[in-house]
Homo-oligomer: A and B are copies of this chain.
């Protein structure tokens, strides 16, 4: 076991990817930590009260370390784009779902400083973040209360920037990864670098531990990432069908049917590039030729539709985030999945001798 895993008392080198918008529940976070990994709470879409509540829930379920994940406020853009055109586009789907006309909310995201306040008051052992660098004051505040800080890079240069900014570890997010790209220093299209290529190049460029993410679904993938020089892996899609995940029934069903060549990257749902299963909404959006509103406004604008679609089991209108490893997804409790990976790690190690 390496320093990173030792620090968080992990006996399997698995970090739960923070999966906002439903899947990452306090139950899943605690289950992954209890099974010897490092659970992560997706807190980016939560206000301070919710963050405090969720952390309290996790602590009632586990005595072990876990991480809390935020989005860098540097990624937030002022409202840009043709609200009327996007509204008209969304309106068709609202009608189908029996919703009133789309309304752009006056604020699109939670207040970052209040999120930091809540976290510093609760003092989890680890904070991770994505979408950029954190403001130096936030870095300082986390460090003052002894929190270990993990940033997210999709290129070598981003990893170097994060190290210079003082992070303690770096998630190297390969192009296979499901959901939002963490890219912040180049256009996201330019930073779809496969995990096998990205991880060793990041490992060679920085001194802090590197956590590999993207396309890792089982013990074989975990061992591959360790061979590439990673200290651990971050797995998201592999946990989406776990019993403790908050993944909606329609989303689960789509995941269990999906093949490796059915995901795509899109800005249609949130305004930021993210990987998910190609469905009606993405196809129709691409055909429309529309430009998305800036992030996080597109995200806020499509939220009502996505919630209603989830309730109505209309998977064609959901953001079905998933990585390219989706064909290897398995059901079971987090502990079952991790036990299986543990066995696969042993078998893989044996095969490499």
Contact = CB atoms under 8 A, between A and B. Distances in A.
Nearest to A216: B196
Nearest to A229: B220
A315 to B, nearest CB: 19
Contact of A218 (B155, B200, B225, B327): B200
B214 A194 contact: yes
B227 A260 contact: no
Contact of A194 (B190, B195, B228, B264): B195
B260 A198 contact: yes
B174 A196 contact: yes
A323 interface: yes
A349 interface: yes
A201 B155 contact: no
Most buried by B among A196, A228, A324, A327: A196
Contacts of A196: 174, 176, 194-196, 214-216, 221, 224-225, 325
B215 A328 contact: no
B193 A324 contact: yes
A201 B156 contact: no
A176 B155 contact: no
A262 to B, nearest CB: 8
Interface in A179-214: 186, 190-198, 200-201, 204, 214
A328 B200 contact: yes
B156 A327 contact: yes
Interface of A: 155-157, 174-176, 186, 190-198, 200-201, 204, 214-218, 220-221, 223-229, 259-261, 264, 323-325, 327-328, 348-349, 351-353
